Structure 1
Amino acid sequence: MNELPSRAHRPVRVLRVLASRHADSTRMVRPQDFDTELVAQAASVSDVDGHERYVPLCVDWRDARLLLSRWDDDCAMSDVPFLYQRQRRTATHLLAVPFEQLDAPGRAARMTPTFIFSIGRCGSTLLSRLLAAVGEQSVSEPDVLTSVAHFDDDAERAAAQGARERIVQSCVAAFEPACGPAPVIKLRARCNRAIDVFLNAMPHARYVFMCRDRDDWVRSSSRAFGDSGEALAELLKASVEAFDRMHAARVDPVLVWYEDLLADPVRALRRILLARDDLDARRAAVERALRTDAQEGSGLSRASLAMRTGDAGALAAFGARWREIRPERLLREHGLSRLR
């Protein structure tokens, strides 16, 4: 599972960012998004000055390197709606770490992260902000973990084989200096297609799965991303199957509905944060977080989305395709009848 490509010992590169592209885009971060110049090399990550300030950014599968960006922001990572956008916009220096120099999996094994999986456009960013409001160290959409689920071509996919679980472990470990041993990591919806990678890499993690009323989700996704109804039906099927895989792996996933989160946020948080007995005392902080736009400062803020119109035919197209492919047994077995 965790075998990495056998290569001669290569140095860690320290790169200065000269320019970046797609700053506010929702596209996945890629190494090609940055123009850089080499400013130093080191024998190991620990030899780089300020190495603890570097945060996982993305993966260069072809060169077998993990890229990290230096966090120079004044704000905490938990205050950023989408980490990948903030990194792409503000990164000044990168580390390019060869796979053979990644942390051993033992460090991640000592951590207890919570992964928030979702169907997207269902309040997962809000949940991330609510968790931050009650003092949890929450990271929203680190695209380095999206990298294990999405590939640009078959060559990239082939290069990733055998290394994806180790990447997940190394990235979770790399968040420890900033987030402590129990970070809450909210993932993009496309990560649902790589659920087995996460389950194999971090079987001891806590898993949360978020959903939303089906028709509202289709409308919101179409407006935000321009997704077709057919594509959304395929994504929802893959997401339901991912939830089933969580159950099969016996990780006891917590199912959270967006509508229930809005109705009683403290109750939803209590189901996720089993060890916390102080959440009632945090209601004021929770209410303040509810009144703010969880995606403010991004291209998916309420103000930005108010300017967009979705595909008028998306809901009908979704319904037609969903009736053909919906996994009836899984919807019934896992309490997902609202998606039917």
Structure 2
Amino acid sequence: MAQRLALVEKAKPYPLAVAGPADFRCGQAAPVDPQVVLDEPGHSLYCLDHDNRRALFTRTGVDPGGAPFYFQAQYAHATEVVTLSYDELFALSTPGEPGGVFLYSTGRCGSTLVATALAERGGLTGISEPDVLTQLVMLAPRLTGPQLRDLTRACVRVLARGHPVVIKPRSFAVELAGLLHEEFPQFASVFLYREPLSWARSTARAFAGYDPALNTDPAAVQDRLGRLIPLVGRWRRRMGRLLSPEEVMACQWVAQLERALALRHRGADLFTATYEDLLAGPGAVLGALFAHCGLPAPSGLDAILARDSQEGTSLSRSATTARAAGPGLDEAAFTRTVAALWVEALR
């Protein structure tokens, strides 16, 4: 039965951790109509609690769709939690089929800016990094095909609530792109990426020290990453040891490019652009992207392009510029691993 839980304490281990049921410690519970999560303002789908076969919704006083990172705004502004069983989640009545854009990326490639442009100039509701999709990637090995399909479909329908949306998941969710295309062929598909070495430099700086366990328990970190990026687990088994940071990043970049190629091979009409394209001609790229998504040519882009779309977060320009990139990126090692992984992919 659906329950409204009093929020006692927030317990997320670090800001960029994948959302999970342990993020909140809750107290007194009261039964509630499941439909409240759609009918009462302020509720949004936060995560799944698969061990207990239920979904967690947070109630906030701000719209997380207006934030650079949906999952962080949900957590920061949560005032209470509502839980629904999976059966109640599946039975929720949403107003029609969702539509819009799935915006996949490698991260560090202008995807937040593009999502902002689609929301503000394309008239779509922005949902930037809903972590329930990240969770589904991690849960996939524990689910049957039909279970994964049912949960994915239910989550997207509840996130969209019948509105035209731009859903920009974390980079890991490109693992679900094929399934999302099958279930929601009416969505336009976009993939943004960055040239590998430039991406690695930016990633090393942006995510240096993002998880404290990188220093205390690197094996556990790579175990988690292996669930989000299966190639990390496969390459680690192939090497028979912990991977270097350069090897992990190479696995991520190659795996996500491979998933985008696989989506195109499935017949999806996939629009692709690079960060370098966006820098060289943002107006032209965004005009072509909007046309691909069936949206009118955008106007008033200068204001969006001039501001930092991640301002106020740990990944803003000022925050990433101010911090060091850690012990230093071995660019030659990263490049060698990217080459080796592509050779394996082509065999």
Q: Confirm or deny a common fold (TM above 0.5).
A: yes
Aligned to 2:339: 323
How many pairs were matched up?
307
- Give the TM-score taking structure 2 as reference length: 0.80
Worse-matched range after superposition: 300-309 or 17-26: 17-26
1:208 is paired with a residue of what secondary structure?
strand
Alignment CA distance shift 1:323-1:176 (3 Å): closer
1:58 is paired with a residue of what secondary structure?
strand
Aligned to 1:30: 20
- 1:121-148 Cα offsets, whole Å, 9 max, x none, are 1111111122223133211101011111
1:260 and 1:184 map into 2 onto residues whose CA distance is: 21
Q: Which amino acid aligns with 1:198?
A: L
Aligned to 1:277: 296
Alignment CA distance shift 1:109-1:222 (3 Å): farther
Aligned to 2:281: 264
C-alpha contact 1:150 1:190 (8 A) present in aligned 2: no
2:322 is paired with a residue of what secondary structure?
coil
C-alpha contact 1:109 1:202 (8 A) present in aligned 2: no
Q: Is 1:145 the equivalent of 2:129? A: no
2:148 and 2:330 map into 1 onto residues whose CA distance is: 34
C-alpha contact 1:146 1:191 (8 A) present in aligned 2: yes
Q: Which amino acid aligns with 2:155?
A: C
Q: CA deviation at 1:24?
A: 6.1
Q: Which amino acid aligns with 2:130?
A: P
C-alpha contact 1:224 1:305 (8 A) present in aligned 2: yes
- 1:193-232 Cα offsets, whole Å, 9 max, x none, are 3333323432332211001122110001111113911011
Q: Is 1:122 the equivalent of 2:109? A: yes
Give 5+ residue unaligned stretches, structure 1. 1-10, 331-340
Alignment CA distance shift 1:255-1:48 (3 Å): closer
2:266 alignment partner, one of 238, 241, 249: 249
2:4 is paired with a residue of what secondary structure?
strand
Aligned to 1:136: 124
Alignment CA distance shift 1:159-1:255 (3 Å): closer
2:6 is paired with a residue of what secondary structure?
strand
- Give the TM-score taking structure 1 as reference length: 0.81
1:83 and 1:168 map into 2 onto residues whose CA distance is: 17
Alignment CA distance shift 1:224-1:314 (3 Å): farther
Alignment CA distance shift 1:182-1:328 (3 Å): farther
Aligned to 2:142: 158
Q: Quick one: percent identity of the two aligned structures?
A: 27
1:113 and 1:102 map into 2 onto residues whose CA distance is: 22
Q: Is 1:61 the equivalent of 2:50? A: yes
Higher helix share: 2
Aligned to 2:252: 235
Q: Is 1:174 the equivalent of 2:190? A: no
- 1:246-286 Cα offsets, whole Å, 9 max, x none, are 1122121110211222333333233332333342xx23xx1
C-alpha contact 2:94 2:158 (8 A) present in aligned 1: no
Alignment CA distance shift 1:287-1:295 (3 Å): same
After TM superposition, the structure 1 = structure 2 runs for residues 72-221 of structure 1, keeping only pairs within 5 Å, are 72-73=61-62, 76-103=63-90, 110-134=97-121, 135-151=123-139, 157-158=141-142, 162-177=146-161, 181-221=163-203
